[in-house]
Amino acid sequence: MSLEPYSFCFLRYVHDPLSAEFVNVGVVLWAPKSGFLGFQFASKYRRLSRFFHDFESGDYRQLVSRIATQFERLKLEIDSPAPGLPFGKEPEHARDLALRVVPHDDNALQWSLSAGGVTASPAAELESLYHEAIGRHYDKDSRPRRDDHAVFRQIYSGAFDVPGVKSVIQKHEVIAPLAQHTFEHAWKNGVWNVYQALSFDLKKSDDIYEKAYRWDSRSRHLSAAKERPAIHLLLGGPEDSRLGKAYGKAKDILNGSMVIRLIEENEAADFAADLAGKVASAV
């Protein structure tokens, strides 16, 4: 196996030069022995929007695509330098070439210092660098999130599928002066017991807070119905651990209402047993 040296550097989006916060958005790799020059970049900007709330997408995608095109042109010039072009001396580091495409002028796009190693395949090395530093974060961001239906199906549906329980469960519409809502799962035992699955597996803290406030308000209004219901919210938390604090605050918001009972994922088994016992004693 023949190994050859290579160098690489990352293209960074620097949102605020004063704070120096950045996100890697691209990587360029240069292997002079084989003349390989490669640039790979993230065309999507959702990660930037998540990191920097006032990020303006603008023409970001067009900009990085244009940079990629310039690298393709640069590769052609290196392979077949025209008279007068400054490639008589072979570039030593990837950053030397990168600065020809995006000069260092303290703008939002900046290059990291060069690093390097040896590899049998510069193209495979470029792919690996991109995945580890950039691509895997987008893969994580793009995972499917659980909606309300998924939370019910995956966690709570078993409690309602028990034969004794299933026979009494029905739809019920709660109508109040300022709100109405149809609950897909409900049963009456003196009062209407209604159940709503709520997923907080959302992208941002603000989304979690907004959903909590919305259901807190809705529940308070529904409690003014002529037949006041007992509202049970079956919760599904965020799978992103960084949103745990926001989820905790959302539960505090909902717990502030005396008309709501919260059931969490780790209480699903106890909830199922409690529901079956209440239904059995009421029949």
- The SS3 assignment for 253 reads helix
Q: b/e map of 170-192 (b: 16 or more CB within 10 Å)? A: eebebebeebebebebbbeeeeb
Range(s) of the chain covered by CATH 3.40.1350: 148-282
Confidence of residue 81 (pLDDT cuts 50, 70, 90): low
The whole-angstrom separation of Cα 83 and Cα 282 is: 93
The pLDDT tens digits of the residues spanning 267-281 come to 999 999 999 999 999
275 alpha-carbon distance from chain centroid: 34
Residue 187 pLDDT: 96
The pLDDT tens digits of the residues spanning 159-192 come to 999 999 999 999 999 999 989 999 999 999 999 9
* CATH architecture, domain 148-282: 3-Layer(aba) Sandwich (3.40)
